[in-house]
Amino acid sequence: MSAGIVIALDAMGGDAAPQMVLRGAQLARERAPDVRFLIFGRESEVKPLLDRYGDLAQACDFVHTDDVVRSEEKPSIALRSGRSSSMRLAINAVKEGQAQAVVSAGNTGALMAMAKFVLKTLPGIDRPAIASFFPTQKGESVMLDLGANVHCDSNNLVDFALMGSVFSRLILGRIKPTIGILNVGSEDQKGHEALWEAAAMLRGSDGLPGRFHGFVEGDDIGKGTVDVIVTDGFTGNVALKTAEGTAKLVSEYLRQSFRSSFFASLGYLLARAAMRKLRHRLDPRRYNGAIFLGLNGITVKSHGGTDALGFANAIGLAVDLARNNFIKRIQEDFEKLDRGSSEENGEDDQGGAQVEAV
């Protein structure tokens, strides 16, 4: 491999893999021609497709493996039996310094378990979190955790706030991101003890790379009230799936309405340009790519059902994180944070993945 950004790809992860993965890699190289790839997968399925993309073939190295992590496989089983899988070898490449990031559209729980076991968590961070973009009235925000940790204590939530703030600064360009903790009300007395303790630590902390706004409610997510929304993985996953389902519901309602009569169809023709803008703004492929924050290595999870464009956006996120030295920036900001308590760096063989979030 030549010098520069190298992204390890799990060619066998995703509903339409490996064709979706390779086409996505080709699209990503059109945006970032200097990026190279280290691709892992079954030679009989990948090589014939790779040969069709001459430019891509010249910009990547391919490693054969017969083993693949199935979409329905339990994380614990994948961790024990998937040591030679395309997913595990791609993660190993980051650990060994052969690549700066790994991207996979495969089994979320297995990816989290393997990545945590191989890459470990950063010093001082107990649990990694799944973070991703949310479209808002003001642009975009980042929300975490989206499913890695069903139960979180106050220290976990403070960790999420810091990591989400760094992500917001580097990727969304917010100079001093605003941070909010998702709650059942904005009043200080609402919620439970872990939320109150996290809020108190964030209000009194020195070195926080952002400004703590306070508690926010569910409707604040779409309003863009804050740049970083912090919550536990159970609540975050429910919010994510609810938002996805609502977007599909609204899209279906609009489709039915415009087909309901001749004049409705005529109205669609008149509003076609506006509808194109709306579809583009809400296109889930634009926001594809969830980052596992807190690991000592960049791991990006693509939605398993995405297409090549969506996968290219996930690769683009990985490239941006690598170019901005994301891991180093989190470490630097974490060292500056004073919360008045210390914690140990937790590691376990199961990786802590409890919810399939993406």
SS3 129: strand
20-45 pLDDT, tens digit per residue, is 999 999 999 988 899 999 999 999 99
Beta bridge partners of 39: 9, 62
Task: Give the pLDDT score at 263.
Answer: 79
Task: Give the pLDDT score at 45.
Answer: 93
Does pLDDT of 341 surpass 50?
no
Beta bridge partners of 291: 131, 300
Domains in the chain: ranges and CATH: 6-336 (3.40.718.10)
Task: Give the pLDDT score at 347.
Answer: 40
146-205 pLDDT, tens digit per residue, is 988 888 999 999 999 999 998 898 888 888 999 999 999 888 888 888 999 999 988 877
309-338 pLDDT, tens digit per residue, is 999 999 999 999 999 888 888 888 777 766
User: Long-range contacts: 322-330, Cβ < 8 Å, 24+?
Assistant: 322/5, 322/7, 322/100, 322/101, 322/298, 323/5, 324/170, 324/171, 326/166, 326/167, 326/170, 326/298, 327/122, 327/296, 327/297, 327/298, 329/166, 329/170, 330/122, 330/162, 330/163, 330/166, 330/293, 330/294
- CA torsion angle 323 327 331 337 (round to 10): 90
Beta bridge partners of 214: 180
Compute and round to an integer the Cα radius of gyration of the chain: 21
Confidence of residue 280 (pLDDT cuts 50, 70, 90): low
Count the Cβ atoms, other than its own, within 10 Å of residue 1: 12
Task: Give the pLDDT score at 339.
Answer: 59
Confidence of residue 353 (pLDDT cuts 50, 70, 90): very low
285-294 pLDDT, tens digit per residue, is 777 778 999 9
Q: Which of 289 and 300 is assigned the larger pLDDT?
A: 300
Confidence of residue 74 (pLDDT cuts 50, 70, 90): very high
Count the Cβ atoms, other than its own, within 10 Å of residue 342: 7
The DSSP code for 71 is T
C-beta separation of 358 from 310 below 8 A: no
Confidence of residue 282 (pLDDT cuts 50, 70, 90): low
Pairing of strands 60-64, 36-41: parallel
Task: Give the pLDDT score at 338.
Answer: 61
Q: How far apart are CA 349 and CA 91, in angstroms?
A: 15
Task: Give the pLDDT score at 358.
Answer: 45
Output the average pLDDT for the chain. Answer: 86
- The owner of tokens 């979320």 is 108
Q: Minimal CA–CA distance to 293: which of 186, 149, 79?
A: 149
Is the backbone peptide bond immediately before 348 cis, with ω within 30 degrees of 0? Answer: no
Query: In the chain, helix, strand, coil percent, each to 5?
Result: 45, 15, 35
Count the Cβ atoms, other than its own, within 10 Å of residue 127: 23
The DSSP code for 122 is P
Q: Minimal CA–CA distance to 343: which of 288, 291, 294?
A: 294
CA distances from 95 to 49, 56, 100, 101, 266 (A): 28, 24, 9, 9, 57
